[in-house]
Amino acid sequence: MFRRRSDDASSATAVAEQDETTPRHPEAPKGRPTPKRSQAEAGRRSRVSVPKDRKEAARQSRERMRIEREKQRTALLEGDERALPARDKGPVRRFARDYVDSRWSMAEFFLPYAVVVLVLSIMKVPTLQLISTMLFLLFFVMVILDFVRLGLGLRKALAERFPNENTRGAVAYALMRTLQMRRLRLPKPKVKRGERP
């Protein structure tokens, strides 16, 4: 209330010199006058450029979504961390991907094996159908045991590598990745088999 004007002027110039990208302290003065309500409303109206035609608005929305999907697809192919979807971002998920990609697993051969078993089960030879069913059950048990081995190893490696970070969901994320064949995995594998992440 009883401040001197020179203090106000000096603080205003100091704030004006500050870069607008740096955050301002909540108790510091703004360094500019508050705009009138009519000016603020006019500024908001000019920034939001929504087309009056609903078809045009829908077209622009579809175009924005297409560009965003294309950016994410490119990021998945190239492994660009900045544009990856939220489920693939972060050092924990990157480590889980590398852990899976550096190992052989039974689960990545599950889909091709299931196709072979399906073809064998369609044939009219009962002995062949029985053998294919038994082999499928045996392979299924081996995949489950491989999941358990991989999951326990990854859980231990995550606890060692990221002791203070949230690793929730990383093991399930990695196990789902093992079900895909290596060349079809997205983001693309960054490590060779046998390398340790």
Assess whether pLDDT exceeds 90 at residue 176.
yes
**130: its two tokens:** 């029985």
At 125-166, the pLDDT tens digits run 889 888 888 988 999 999 999 999 999 999 999 999 999 888
Assess whether pLDDT exceeds 80 at residue 22.
no
Give me the chain's average pLDDT, please.
Answer: 82
**165: its two tokens:** 């970070």
- Of the ranges 15-19, 28-32, 93-97, which one carries the lowest mean pLDDT score? 15-19
**Per-residue pLDDT at 45:** 66
- Percent above pLDDT 90 for the chain: 29
Assess whether pLDDT exceeds 60 at residue 48.
no
The rounded distance, in Å, linking the Cα atoms of 24 and 26 is: 6
**Per-residue pLDDT at 15:** 45
What's the mean pLDDT in 22-38?
A: 75
**Per-residue pLDDT at 34:** 84
Assess whether pLDDT exceeds 70 at residue 4.
no
- Of the ranges 38-47, 51-60, 103-112, which one carries the lowest mean pLDDT score? 38-47
**Per-residue pLDDT at 46:** 60
- Of the ranges 6-10, 57-61, 95-99, 114-118, which one carries the lowest mean pLDDT score? 6-10
At 81-96, the pLDDT tens digits run 777 778 888 899 999 9
Assess whether pLDDT exceeds 80 at residue 37.
yes
